[in-house]
Amino acid sequence: MRRTRVWIGLAAVLVGLVGGGVYVARSRPAAESPQQPQRARDPGFGVILAIRTLERSAETRLSPEQIAAILPFLKALKDVPPTDPAGEIIAGAVRKTLTPAQQAALEDARRQVQSRRRSGGVQAGSGGDDGGSGAPAGGPRAPAEISDEQRTQLRARTFERMIRYLERRTQ
């Protein structure tokens, strides 16, 4: 009889722990959940990625005239917060300076990345290899590990590097 009471007591404690765990898991804020909603895309990073993609090939490389047209937009975009709608407008102005062949090359690159993501070859949010971005040797860090301040600093450095690169190309 005493053994039965012990087993019933243990079963009750176990049910209580499991039930409490389910309650805690369901009441956890979205920021702590493993499947965080994706952060809104930064149009400025989109422009930088497009320029890097185009600069990889001699056929799609930006002309000096295009660079002269894009540089003021890039300098302005650097100071626009990622969530500001003006960023999308400036990014659209940059896209208008591209030739149809360059736009087609960007569309092909976008399709290739999507195909690799679907097949599991590229982690979502990653651009594949680090492309010389200066990512740590252990690989890129997960977005949750980067503070907003670090993200802002990374964004500023990325813009500065691209601006310097394009300025050197015009000389």
- pLDDT tens digit string along 113-129? 999 999 886 554 544 44
> Which pLDDT score is estimated for 120?
82
Judge contact between 99 and 55, C-beta under 8 A.
no
Give the number of other CB atoms < 10 A from CB of residue 112.
13
Asked if residue 51 is part of any domain, the answer here is: yes
Nearest to 143 by CA among 119, 118, 163, 126: 126
Determine the average pLDDT of the residues in 72-78. 95
Average pLDDT, the chain: 78
Asked if residue 59 is part of any domain, the answer here is: yes
> Which pLDDT score is estimated for 88?
95
> Which pLDDT score is estimated for 135?
39
> Which pLDDT score is estimated for 40?
76
Residue 87, token pair as written in the block: 């960023």
d(CA 141, CA 134): 12
Nearest to 83 by CA among 39, 50, 48, 125: 39
Asked if residue 141 is part of any domain, the answer here is: no
Asked if residue 35 is part of any domain, the answer here is: no
> Which pLDDT score is estimated for 100?
96
Asked if residue 64 is part of any domain, the answer here is: yes
SS3 39: coil
Q: What is the DSSP letter of 142?
A: P
Determine the average pLDDT of the residues in 87-112. 95
> Which pLDDT score is estimated for 171?
85
Residue 21, token pair as written in the block: 């765990």
Asked if residue 22 is part of any domain, the answer here is: no
User: Which residues constitute the domain of residue 117?
Assistant: 43-122+148-170
Confidence of residue 10 (pLDDT cuts 50, 70, 90): low
- pLDDT tens digit string along 131-162? 444 434 444 555 567 888 999 999 999 999 99
Question: Structural domain tally of the chain?
Answer: 1
d(CA 85, CA 114): 25
d(CA 79, CA 87): 9
